[in-house]
A and B are shown apart, each in its own frame.
Chain A
Amino acid sequence: MVGNRISSVMRRYLAVALSLAWMTDARAALGDWYFQPPATAIASRINDLHSLIFWICVVIFVGVFGTMFYSLYKHRKSVGHEAVPFHENTTVEIVWTVIPFLILLFMAYPATRTILAAHDTSSPDMTIKVTGYQWKWGYDYLQDGFGYYSSLTTPLAQIENREPKNEHYLLEVDNPLVVPVDAKVRLLVTANDVIHAWWVPAFGVKQDAIPGFVRDTWFRADRVGIYRGQCAELCGRAHAYMPVVVEVKSKEDYAKWVGEQKQKLNAAANDPNKVWDVAALVAHGEQVYNNNCAACHQANGGGNTALGAPALVGDKVVLGPKQHQIDVVLNGQTNGVVQTAPGGGKMPAWKQLPDVDIAAVISYTRNSWGNKASENVVQPTEVKAERK
């Protein structure tokens, strides 16, 4: 598959590059100092291009500094070398202007071909909208009508060194992006708040997510597996904590997975008025809280005054009438908090979350960390009513 995308000239370059690139062979053993193994044709081409140019640079470097060290060795005052005061030669100046230029042309050719190939987003098999949020990713399957958020699952205790770290510390999420193998997946990339960048090294894809604008990119994964990357544009305090995880499934598994997602969607849509019991709401609410609220209000509800996030333990909004809290969570709040804190110090609006999540997270805050609110349960229907 790589082969039929690459011209014969490119293949000749590759042969040279690969024969030199012992690094490429050794990379399985040295995974932490070289590229991740590529999983798309574009990523392979990028690796080959890098090897080619790297080794050209090495050869020039050795030539230039070999000359310098020879001169340092032979033309030193301490070995009695007398200076020969020549200081001009037009021919040699022209030679060392033209030769580098030709080498650059040699490099530019394969680079140009790769750029043109990587920019061809036409005729995709499917399209997914990717949205960057502070600090998680949202994936919307535009043709199948469902979508979800993808947040870090590494527990805070590991980040704060209170527990040993997982194998995939900081590179694990609750809901990875799921795509079928060997299908051209087009991504429409945007952001909700600030600029993020969606990056999966094994795919050779890095695309800035720019609020208010949609950019597109694509990949075609050639192997089933799980691929991990990270946000690559500084996006605030939790920039290090919004990984990208992509699960590439076989075509059959993918179809099954899509079916399950649609079923879930229907189940939720069929019963908007379901009355939840407290324990189920609180359990779901804890998950919602840790994904969305804990970054500022802290996992223990202790708040963070530097960020303008009040403690929720004993907070009068949390313990007071539930209708007011629903309003604050849905629409945000600016009064009475520190405006100069990072993030503007304001409680952001969370109306993009589904009713169930909002009801659950409010119920969670009213029943946790010693909080015992008199109105301790909020049902999704009440949130729905408040949205109007």
Chain B
Amino acid sequence: MSSVPHDLVAGGHPHGHDDHAHHPTGIMRWITTTNHKDIGTLYLWFSFTMFIVGGVMALTIRSELFQPGLQIVDPEFFNSMTTLHGLIMIFGALMPGAVGFANWLIPMQIGAPDMAFARMNNWSFWLLPPAAFMLVLSLFVPGGAASGGWTLYPPLTVQQGMGMDLTIFAIHIMGASSIMGSINIITTILNLRAPGMTLMKLPLFCWTWLITAYLLIAVMPVLAGAVTMLLTDRHFGTSFFNAAGGGDPVLFQHVFWFFGHPEVYIIILPAFGIISEIIPAFSRKPLFGYASMVYAVAAIAILSFLVWAHHMFTTGLPAASILFYMYATMLIAVPTGVKVFNWLATMWKGSISLEAPMLFALGFLFLFVVGGFTGLILAIQPIDIQFQDTYYVVAHFHYVMVAGTLFAFFGGIYYWLPKWAGRMYDEKLADWHFWLSFISFNVTFFPMHFLGLAGMPRRIPDYAQQFTDWNMVATVGAFGFGLSQLLFFYTVVKCIRSGEPAPARPWEGATTLEWTLPSPAPYHTFETPPVIK
């Protein structure tokens, strides 16, 4: 029941002959690649690009909200910005980022030579750029981009122009990409594990991704169904969401959130996996409660299917169903608490050092728990009446998505960059990146709790004057956070180009299989599976 490392007998690594990979060079290498490491790299750079695009949109939003009144953008364009910012960050930045980590790490952590379906892997990735292109293109079509919020509620989205159709098609394509990626990950983990790598020896990152992949396969088709119904309501005379034709606008919300709530865990679970690798490594101690961590992730995944209507607490649900969804939502605090306690117990009596990956992991822990608590407060339906569709909700999910998932990604990148690039990053720059991100994140999002308490609705380009002060603070913080990410880019590029050469195992507490490989990891690894005892 202990984690992999101690049982690992690092077999010899006969890589010598395949270090020089046989693949096309230049752009064709990337277009035709079926190599999990290349595809992982593609996913990560795609994710970063989308992060910048979505970030520019966020700064447009924050600029308009610096003061009351309309200064910079038209309200309709503002609504398009909030809509596209959400869609791009979720489907373009966070999800592909997690798949990038999966591609790089899962084969190396389970001792497999590559992903199970290498060509499909290529296709999963290359579907994403056209989808992202369509989303961005929608800004330039007559009528503008979708502007009904990322949740796409009809009838508002039935009113909109062709930008909405482009959004629907983009979601279809990204959904197909996610489903293929998930099939690949599940098959890889279940079938390509090295001899002796039983399921209960899997590194926790692989476990979280295995469960995430099942969630994706369960809910992406549901989202596809929801937006397809939207499409036929818009163009083919159906009335799924139109009361005049016998439909119900709230049906869309049920279907959407049946996807949407598990989606939240799709985004956070791989981050849990990354954190569960980093904290033991920098505490120089095995993960505490490995089995309970696995069970907690599974429990969160199962509960995630039973709580969707807590996003709809103000739609006028009957009291009985409000009680059910409230209790189920509150229950999620239990397995989430178990995870946090296990991480703390992992650190307890360890031998802790605070390199950048650990800083981000601790930042994650601290701020994710803030987001968890506000989530618990939002789960209490009477309180949610006051917070639904206010900035309190905006604060809550940015604590979970940004300080949660994104911080875990930053930590993961600094942790594995030596393995990927074969060079060490500059610790001083990475520490600066952490502290600047941590502080500016809180300057941006903490005041949003106050705005929500005071009653500022979300998705408005203009607001009453009592909200001015905290909006100004948030805007200043947002620009700080945006600029901090340029430092991240510089730090990563500097590492790749001119970092100090990295040893095979730069972290003395790191014990999973990938650290038995040389740095940088050769193009092909584990062509002969290692033996795990």
Q: Which residues of A contact B (CB under 8 A)?
A: 31-36, 42, 45-46, 49-50, 53-54, 57, 60-61, 64-65, 67-68, 71-72, 75-78, 81-89, 92-93, 96-97, 100-101, 104, 107-108, 111-112, 114-116, 118-119, 158-161, 165, 167-171, 189, 193-195, 197, 199, 201, 204-208, 210-213, 215-217, 229-241, 306-307, 338-345
Contact A340:B142 (CB < 8 A) given known A46-B386, A239-B459: yes
* Contact of B286 with A85 in the complex, beta carbons under 8 Å: yes
CA distance A344 to B463 in the complex (A): 26
Contact A306:B76 (CB < 8 A) given known A77-B351, A108-B326: yes
B322 to chain A, nearest CB (A): 6
* Contact of A211 with B155 in the complex, beta carbons under 8 Å: yes
CA distance A101 to B334 in the complex (A): 6
Tell me if B330 counts as interface (CB < 8 A to partner A).
Answer: yes
* Contact of B288 with A204 in the complex, beta carbons under 8 Å: no
* Contact of A87 with B290 in the complex, beta carbons under 8 Å: yes
Contact A115:B289 (CB < 8 A) given known A201-B386, A342-B147: no
* Contact of B377 with A57 in the complex, beta carbons under 8 Å: yes
* Contact of B330 with A53 in the complex, beta carbons under 8 Å: no
* Contact of A210 with B250 in the complex, beta carbons under 8 Å: yes
* Contact of A75 with B292 in the complex, beta carbons under 8 Å: no
CB-CB under 8 A from A205, the residues of chain B are 385
* Contact of B331 with A169 in the complex, beta carbons under 8 Å: no
Measured CB to CB, the nearest residue on chain B to A198 is B314
* Contact of A107 with B380 in the complex, beta carbons under 8 Å: yes
CB-CB under 8 A from A197, the residues of chain B are 314, 388-389
* Contact of B454 with A31 in the complex, beta carbons under 8 Å: yes
* Contact of A33 with B450 in the complex, beta carbons under 8 Å: yes
CB-CB under 8 A from A345, the residues of chain B are 143, 161
Tell me if B47 counts as interface (CB < 8 A to partner A).
Answer: no
Give 7 nearest A-B pairs by CB, closest first: A212-B243, A215-B316, A33-B450, A240-B460, A340-B161, A340-B143, A57-B373
Tell me if B340 counts as interface (CB < 8 A to partner A).
Answer: yes
B506 to chain A, nearest CB (A): 15
Count of chain B residues near A, Cβ 8 A: 105
CB-CB under 8 A from A165, the residues of chain B are 68-69, 465
Q: How many A-B residue pairs have CB under 8 A?
A: 312
Tell me if B1 counts as interface (CB < 8 A to partner A).
Answer: yes
CB-CB under 8 A from B373, the residues of chain A are 57, 60-61
Interface set, chain B 229-261, CB cutoff 8 A to A: 242-244, 248-250
CA distance A61 to B466 in the complex (A): 30
* Contact of A234 with B459 in the complex, beta carbons under 8 Å: yes
Contact A54:B143 (CB < 8 A) given known A76-B352, A170-B68, A212-B242: no
CB-CB under 8 A from A35, the residues of chain B are 386, 453-455
CB-CB under 8 A from A76, the residues of chain B are 351-354
CB-CB under 8 A from A161, the residues of chain B are 69-71
* Contact of B352 with A71 in the complex, beta carbons under 8 Å: yes
* Contact of B333 with A50 in the complex, beta carbons under 8 Å: no
* Contact of B377 with A53 in the complex, beta carbons under 8 Å: yes
CB-CB under 8 A from A104, the residues of chain B are 330-331, 333-334
* Contact of B314 with A194 in the complex, beta carbons under 8 Å: no
* Contact of B68 with A232 in the complex, beta carbons under 8 Å: no
* Contact of B382 with A160 in the complex, beta carbons under 8 Å: no
Contact A46:B385 (CB < 8 A) given known A84-B349, A170-B68: yes
* Contact of B455 with A233 in the complex, beta carbons under 8 Å: no
- The interface centre, meaning the residue of A82, A160, A210 with most chain B CB atoms within 10 A of its CB, is A210
A287 to chain B, nearest CB (A): 22
Contact A159:B70 (CB < 8 A) given known A87-B289, A100-B333, A210-B315: yes
Type the 1/0 row for B1-35, where 1 means its CB is closer than 8 Å to any CB of A: 11100000000000000000000000000000000
Q: Which residue of the partner chain, among B155, B289, B376, contacts A88 with CB atoms under 8 Å?
A: B289
* Contact of A46 with B383 in the complex, beta carbons under 8 Å: yes
Tell me if B347 counts as interface (CB < 8 A to partner A).
Answer: yes
Residue pairs across A and B with Cβ atoms less than 8 A apart, 12 shown, are A34-B450, A53-B376, A81-B350, A85-B286, A87-B288, A93-B342, A108-B327, A197-B389, A215-B316, A234-B79, A237-B75, A340-B162
* Contact of B453 with A33 in the complex, beta carbons under 8 Å: yes
A229 to chain B, nearest CB (A): 7
Contact A119:B319 (CB < 8 A) given known A34-B453, A46-B383, A238-B75: yes
* Contact of B344 with A86 in the complex, beta carbons under 8 Å: no
Measured CB to CB, the nearest residue on chain A to B467 is A32
CB-CB under 8 A from A115, the residues of chain B are 319, 322-323, 326, 381-382
CA distance A299 to B254 in the complex (A): 40
Not counting A60-B373, A108-B326, a sample of 14 additional A-B residue pairs whose C-beta atoms are within 8 angstroms of each other reads A31-B466, A65-B366, A67-B344, A83-B283, A93-B289, A96-B338, A96-B341, A159-B462, A161-B71, A208-B315, A210-B315, A212-B249, A241-B462, A341-B142
CA distance A76 to B344 in the complex (A): 14
* Contact of B460 with A239 in the complex, beta carbons under 8 Å: yes
